[in-house]
A and B are shown apart, each in its own frame.
Chain A
């Protein structure tokens, strides 16, 4: 069945350093969504990418959809302690018609 792999699983950075998480699929995707979950909180929708090669920015966050629509990345420039949390990608399954969440990348930021 369709799988989505997210790497790395954990990342510790010094405040001010950049951070990137990657989401890779075994099949071509129609779209991809990104969510953020703060420690002790619930997942919150960040953005959806639909077009091949699409790049979207939200302040210090840059989201990219691969040209082949099989992978995506989330890049945070100059991390801050408020960026701490787990970032999930989610893709629609062509088999089940449901959203499949990646395992998440947990970001820790040292002040």
Chain B
């Protein structure tokens, strides 16, 4: 089991560029999440999904989009990157419920210049 994998590990974007952060889990979990973590801060929920085809906004969704076409994959799309989106992005998944133990990926470190 690889658990939760994320690509890329690092990325530098210019203002206005777009990109997709990839997240895949092999634990057959229904629930998946995207968080951002600014330096020295806690985790802020961007979007989450309770199953394939179902997504919903979290605390800070503006500037991002998600899709969930399969149980395994939950990509996060950044449109028109801004310096405020410089952060570390973590994908996570949980099995039994949305309050169950969450398993995190290694993160994507994004810098927008």
Spell out A's residues near B (CB within 8 Å).
Answer: 30-31, 33, 41-45, 48, 88, 90, 92-93, 97-99, 101-104, 106
Contact = CB atoms under 8 A, between A and B. Distances in A.
A44 to B, nearest CB: 7
**B41, B92, B101, B103: which has the most chain A beta carbons within 10 Å?**
B101
Given A98-B48, A102-B42, A106-B40, A42 B107 contact: yes
B22 interface: no
Interface centre among A33, A45, A88, A98 (most CB of B within 10 A): A98
Nearest to A102: B42
B99 A42 contact: no
A98 B98 contact: yes
Interface string B30-46: 00000000001111010
B41 A43 contact: no
Contacts of B74: none
A101 B106 contact: no
Contacts of A30: 99
A42 B106 contact: yes
Given A88-B43, A106-B40, A98 B104 contact: no
21 contacts: A30-B99, A42-B104, A42-B106, A43-B43, A43-B92, A43-B102, A48-B101, A88-B43, A97-B97, A97-B98, A97-B99, A98-B48, A98-B58, A98-B98, A98-B99, A99-B98, A99-B99, A101-B42, A102-B42, A104-B42, A106-B40
Contacts, number: 44
Given A42-B90, A98-B45, A103-B42, A92 B104 contact: no
Given A42-B107, A43-B90, A103 B101 contact: no
A41 to B, nearest CB: 8
Given A42-B90, A98-B98, A103 B104 contact: no
A101 B58 CA distance: 13
Given A88-B43, A98-B45, A101-B43, A45 B99 contact: no
B43 to A, nearest CB: 5
B103 A45 contact: yes
